[in-house]
A and B are shown apart, each in its own frame.
Chain A
């Protein structure tokens, strides 16, 4: 890790371009233009008053303030992360306002909260040593919150899994499993960083091959157990898969032992198979994925309607507010990607996929550039969290994998998810900038 090897990612390579605040400002302006055009189109298509453009104003305010504060706090940051995150969030705002206008103000509020959280992260000590040092505090705190939610959690729509905590005012709820995503990555990055030296060499010989030592078994099984608890509690493969996959990749990054991934995959499939036989919800999701057509009017209605929305969008899309994505039940959270496909077409979906891919690759390249194992693992773990979550939901909507109840980062409706995504973006920005202080 001490060699400053660089993950080359073509033209986006940080080394080749000086960090310029103008680049970020230009990208933000471009994103703002796209969002404004879409919102104007929405206002025209829906015959709304021009005052309903206010979420774009809030977005622009967040962009300007965010850009200014980041210039002061993190002048040498990655210039792409903030504009890309803001671009997806603004697009998500367009989408929520179009799909469920009554949720638009709440989503706009969460945008402000999210950007504030991102900026708050930038004000915290930049060496992030405090994250590493109190890792057990974070983990126990996170697990305690999870435990509380399991006990007294509720569901804002009063049916379905009770994954939310009421924040004590209004109709504002928070989903602690979202916070757990960050806590988990922080803990694992810190723990693995301390033990990396041993993990990389910890192998045994089995006849002619070197395989990971059985010493890996305990942490892997422990993590697997935690994920199973989440699985049992949520009755959904989504978050559990997300946690476990991110864990396995971080383990692989630390140890460099690819065989561990194979073992992890076996455990994951075993858990999935168990869940398939035990939980009706999971059985349904998998059956519907395997054959949606025979139950297109009942169990598979949502996924078949989602595919029809994608088909209706074609290459160029119907245009904002011109398609019929609202045929899909709860389109604004789980099926935001299908709504994008219908109204912006393949052009829109490729743009979303590419934007997320760039964010992930930027995160991984930050991980590759840093000299410190903890920072590297933190950056890669957070990036993988965004990547796996995006891939799970996009793959689910497109029937590549069974559908899981995770949100599309930055785009879907949902405050907890947006807040988490912005905190991840903030941490990645911090990680991209300052390397002087050793951990």
Chain B
């Protein structure tokens, strides 16, 4: 029987050996493929353990932070849902948006990662700690703009010139990032109002009358000698200024309240009369010029918002000398194929405020490593291309200043004795030509030698009173410059 016992013992040991090899196979050979499986709940738990850094406003107020629950998992809290457009959201299930997406690596702490740190964290089961991110958002401006916007749909962007700091960004209808997981189905399925779409950076709007600023700049730039001719061009009377312009089945007219008297080109601009701009080709502007101007002002490409991926509106087909005149009229009145985002418009307005030079738009200016009290400034693009000639910018600026004095709409954004520059416009978008209103402008806040301004762009959907947009802009500017 001893012989048999030996065989049985050997067989048992062999089987125990097979079990050991089996354990090693799953624990070592197949470990990585099993760990990476999407249905491995450990990945979700690991993700939920990450202590994401906070997102602060420019004064250090928390716009988003992670709260550690009893189970050791982190919960993301957004004290100001009104700031959802710039801050965005973070969800284990549905991903990220806004600053949460653009600065995900910093907030997760991936930028701090090193093989050594990972090893120590892993051994000690320390939850990964992310860096704090300081945004340029000014909570006062953000809340004021959001409140003034009320229940309208649309967008507001406010930025400081020449620093390019975005002070506020509103996109309506909004969502509460605290309730995102619960409300996702409704939010994502709502194609009618698309609450998750950041209209400020990605909303594609028909520029309509708002394009007059660009066309005006193009008309001025086409003058050979602006210092001599500029005043003449702007201040000479335009014949048939209030002739309605027909484009794509629409009849475009001056804004309501336009005085029935002969108007200069500057006045046509401030009253939003489309006729002089639709006839721009008759006064020396060529399709090539216009195309060049659209391109130079960044209306054909995605605007730069440091760290973010932004969207461009849809560009029109190339304009050239053979382009049919109806298409040219559509392009000149902003009712053609070109659509723009509010951020693109802000870039144009900021350049006009900044002597024609682009400003480096950005939403985040510094990052603070976990455990550190030192903010590390982020580098901004060094290149500040000139979008407009300084003399053209200055002529447009003067026209916008005139508008704030004379336009019944732009003047609604005026505050105290601050110097306001602005332009109100109507546009028609979508297949059923829904009207919406634009306001684009800036307030001069220069205190010393260095010129400073706060630029604002407002677009309100499904409204036809340009005063509404001007009022929102006024409220945002008031908060930004500290005027009651």
Q: Give the CA-CA distance A367 to B32 in the complex, in Å.
A: 44
Given A322-B125, A356-B16, A252 and B4 touching (CB < 8 A)? yes
Contact (Cβ within 8 A) A350 B30: no
Cβ of A314: which chain B residues have Cβ within 8 Å of it? 27-28, 31
Q: Can you list 8 contacts pairing A with B, beta carbon distance less than 8 Å?
A: A9-B9, A249-B8, A296-B37, A297-B39, A307-B34, A346-B28, A349-B23, A353-B16
Interface residue total, chain A, C-beta cutoff 8 A: 54
B12 within 8 A of A: yes
Query: B27 contacts A324, CB within 8 Å?
Result: no
**Apart from A296-B39, A311-B27, what 12 extra A-B contacts exist at CB < 8 Å?**
A7-B5, A7-B6, A252-B4, A253-B4, A307-B30, A311-B32, A350-B23, A361-B13, A391-B19, A394-B22, A399-B26, A400-B22
Cα distance, A258 to B30, chains bound together (Å): 37
Taken together as a complex, chains A and B put the C-alpha atoms of A304 and B38 apart, in Å, by 12
Asked whether any CB of chain B lies closer than 8 Å to the CB of A177, the reply is no
Q: Can you list, as one digit per residue, whether each of B61-96 has a CB less than 8 Å from chain A (1) or not (0)?
A: 000000000000000000000000000000000000
Pick the contact of A380: B8, B20, B45, B125 (CB < 8 A). Answer: B8
For residue A424, CB closer than 8 A to chain B, the reply is: no
Chain A residues near B24 (CB, 8 Å)? 346
Query: What 4 A-B pairs have minimum CB-CB distances, sorted nearest first?
Result: A311-B34, A398-B22, A311-B31, A5-B2
| Structural contact, A253 and B23, CB atoms closer than 8 A | no
- Contact residues of B between 362 and 399, Cβ < 8 Å to A: none
Query: What per-residue 1/0 map shows which CB atoms of B98-135 lie under 8 Å from chain A?
Result: 00000000000000000000000000010000000000
* Residues 41-52 of chain B, each 1 if its beta carbon lies under 8 Å from chain A, else 0: 110010000000
The reply on A318 being an interface residue by CB < 8 A is: yes
Cα–Cα, bound, A258→B7 (Å): 10
Given A350-B20, A384-B8, verify A256-B3 contact (CB < 8 Å): yes
Q: Does A357 contact B27, Cβ atoms closer than 8 Å? A: no
A253 to B1, CA, bound (A): 6
- A357–B16 touching, CB < 8 Å: yes
B interface residues, Cβ below 8 angstroms from A: 1-9, 12-13, 15-16, 18-20, 22-28, 30-32, 34-35, 37, 39-42, 45, 125
A252 to B11, CA, bound (A): 13
Closest to A346 in B: B27
Looking at A307, A356, A391, the one whose CB has the most chain B CB atoms below 10 A away is A307
Q: With an 8 A cutoff between CB atoms, is A313 at the interface? A: yes
Which chain B positions have C-beta within 8 A of A249?
8
A364/B8 in contact, CB under 8 A: yes
A132 in the interface (beta carbon within 8 A): no
Q: In the bound complex, how far is the Cα of B252 from the Cα of A86, in angstroms?
A: 92
Contact present for B6 and A394 (CB under 8 Å): no
- Grouping DSSP codes into helix (H, G, I), strand (E, B) and loop, the B interface class, with mixed when no group exceeds half, is helix
A328-358 interface code vs B (CB 8 A; 1 in, 0 out)? 0000000000000100011001100110110
Q: Please, which residue of chain B has its CB at the minimum distance from the CB of A301?
A: B39
> Which of A297, A305, A308, A354 has most chain B Cβ within 10 Å?
A308
CA distance A249 to B25 in the complex (A): 29
> How far apart are A308's CB and chain B's nearest CB, in angstroms?
5
Shortest distance in angstroms between A74's beta carbon and chain B's nearest beta carbon?
A: 22
Which residue of chain A lies nearest to B16 when distances are taken between CB atoms in the complex? A357
Cα–Cα distance between A324 and B5 once the two chains are bound (Å): 41
Chain A residues 87-125 with CB under 8 Å of chain B are none
Q: With the chains together, A357 CA to B10 CA distance in Å?
A: 11
Instruction: State in angstroms the CA–CA spacing of A252 and B9 once bound together.
Output: 13
Report yes or no: A353 in contact with B2, Cβ–Cβ below 8 A.
no
A227 at interface, CB cutoff 8 A: no
Please encode chain A, from 377 to 414, with 1 for each CB lying within 8 Å of some chain B CB and 0 for all others: 00010001001000100110011100000000000000
Decide if A315 is an interface residue (CB 8 Å cutoff): yes
Query: CB distance A256 to B5 under 8 Å?
Result: no
Contact in complex: B19, A398 (CB < 8 Å): yes
Q: How many whole Å from A436's CB to the nearest CB in chain B?
A: 21
CB pair B1–A346 under 8 Å, yes or no, is: no
Separation of A361 and B6 alpha carbons in the complex (Å): 10
How far, in whole Å, are A97 and B18 apart by their CA atoms in the complex? 29
Q: Which residue of A lies closest to B41 (CB)?
A: A327
Cα(A315)–Cα(B41), bound, Å? 20
Complex Cα gap A350–B35 (Å): 21
Quote the shortest CB–CB distance from A323 to chain B (angstroms). Answer: 8
